[in-house]
C-alpha cells in the first residue's frame, strides 16, 4: 500500500513539474518570431561574408542558429573593433 501511495505522490509531483515547465516556456513561440524578425533585418542590412558578430555576454546555440553565424562572446566595444580589423570585417 505504501508503494502505491509513493508512486501516486511521485506521479502527481511529476505532473505538476511538467505543467510548470509548460507555463514557463509558453511565450517562446512569440519571442522566437520576434527574434527571427530582428535577425532577418540585421542579416539583410549587412554583407554576411565579412560580418563579425560580437556580444558582451555569453552566447549559446540559439543565437548562433538565429544568425547562422559564429558570435564572439564577452567582447567589449574595443574588442569588437579589433576583431573587425583582424578578421577584415
Q: What is the pLDDT of residue 78?
A: 93
Q: What are the extents of the domains in the chain?
A: 1-44, 46-89
Q: Which cell numbers in the block locate residue 50?
A: 565579412
Pair 51, 89: CB distance under 8 Å: yes
Phi, then psi, of 8 in degrees rounded to 5: -65, -45
**pLDDT (tens digit per residue) in 31-64:** 999 999 999 999 999 888 888 999 999 988 899 9
User: Whole-model pTM?
Assistant: 0.63
Confidence check: pLDDT of 1 > 90: no
Q: Name the burial class of residue 58, with classes exposed (0-12), middle (13-18) and buried (19+) by CB atoms within 10 angstroms of its CB.
A: exposed
Amino acid at each position: 500500500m505504501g508503494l502505491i501511495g509513493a508512486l501516486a505522490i511521485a506521479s502527481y509531483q511529476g505532473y505538476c513539474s511538467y505543467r510548470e515547465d509548460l507555463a514557463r516556456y509558453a511565450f517562446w513561440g512569440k519571442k522566437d518570431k520576434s527574434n527571427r524578425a530582428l535577425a532577418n533585418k540585421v542579416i539583410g542590412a549587412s554583407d554576411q561574408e565579412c560580418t563579425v558578430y560580437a556580444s558582451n555576454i555569453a552566447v549559446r546555440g540559439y543565437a548562433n542558429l538565429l544568425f547562422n553565424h559564429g558570435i564572439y562572446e564577452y567582447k567589449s566595444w574595443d574588442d569588437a573593433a579589433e576583431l573587425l580589423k583582424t578578421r577584415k570585417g
